[in-house]
Structure 1
Amino acid sequence: MRRQLLRFAVAGVAGFVADAGVLWLALHLGCGYFAGRAISFLAAVWVTWQINRRFTFTGRSSGSAWREWWRYLTAMSAGGCVNYLAYSAVVLEMPRTAWLPFLGVAAGSLAGLAVNFVSARWWVFRHRSQR
């Protein structure tokens, strides 16, 4: 399980990079902090799903990739609520700087990590080998 948690965290770092990059782009295209964050969250979920299904939770899949994607998105949305609350607290309470949205993304990512790992391991990828 430690190996999976480490791999899950590495996938989370990749997700953070995708999240922050898409948020930066969305902000520069005129989206606000919250609409941009909704878009960037979806991008991060897709990136982490791709990594986790190939490297973290290996083994034979029990169904279609499409069904797995929707289960993953649903599961990550629970952690996403925790993530979004932490992000919102940072964005609303801290002084405005160029780094503010990225600090919010980092705080949110850390806050949602445990919820996301538990739901991925024991619900989304439960039928894959648990090595």
Structure 2
Amino acid sequence: MRAQVLRFALVGVAGFVVDAGVLWVALHLGAGYFAGRAVSFLAAVWTTWQLNRRFTFAAQRTQSAWAEWWRYLAAMSVGGAANYAAYSVVVLALQHVSWAAWVPYLGVAAGSIAGLGVNFASARWWVFRHRTQR
């Protein structure tokens, strides 16, 4: 299981890059901190689902990709609530500092850390439970 946690964390880093990158684009297109984050979160969830199903929890598929996607989105939304809450606290608390341009990305990092444990547990024991565990 230790190797699986490491793979999940590495996939999480890729998800962070997507999350922060899409948020950057959304902010530059005029979306606010919270609408932009909703879009970036969905992009990150889709990316991590693709990577986790192939890299972290790879095995024979026992359910349709469509069903797996909806289970994954539901599971990540639970951790996403903690993630979004941490992001919101950081953004609201630090939006007026002199280095405010970096605040949304610090919020994404705080949110990612806040949701990590919940997301791993729900992915391993609910979304991908029917796959052979390595």
Query: How many residues in Structure 1 have an aligned counterpart in Structure 2?
Result: 131
Task: Name the residue aligned to 2:117.
Answer: 114
The one-character-per-residue Cα deviations of 1:66-119 (angstroms, maximum 9, x if unpaired) are: 100000000000000000000000000124311000000000000000000000
TM-score (norm: length of structure 1): 0.98
Runs of 4+ residues over 3 Å off in structure 1: none
Task: Name the residue aligned to 2:38.
Answer: 38
- For 1:61 and 1:89, locate their aligned partners in 2 and report how far apart those are by CA, in whole Å: 39
- For 1:123 and 1:59, locate their aligned partners in 2 and report how far apart those are by CA, in whole Å: 15
Q: Which runs of 5+ in 1 are unaligned?
A: none
Task: Name the residue aligned to 2:15.
Answer: 15
Amino acid in structure 2 at the alignment position of 1:3: A
Task: Name the residue aligned to 1:50.
Answer: 50
Amino acid in structure 2 at the alignment position of 1:58: A
Task: Name the residue aligned to 1:100.
Answer: 103
- For 2:58 and 2:2, locate their aligned partners in 1 and report how far apart those are by CA, in whole Å: 14
Per-residue deviation, 1:62: 1.1
- For 2:61 and 2:107, locate their aligned partners in 1 and report how far apart those are by CA, in whole Å: 34
SS of the equivalent of 2:101 reads coil
TM-score (norm: length of structure 2): 0.96
Tell me the C-alpha RMSD between the 2 structures.
0.6
- For 2:25 and 2:61, locate their aligned partners in 1 and report how far apart those are by CA, in whole Å: 34
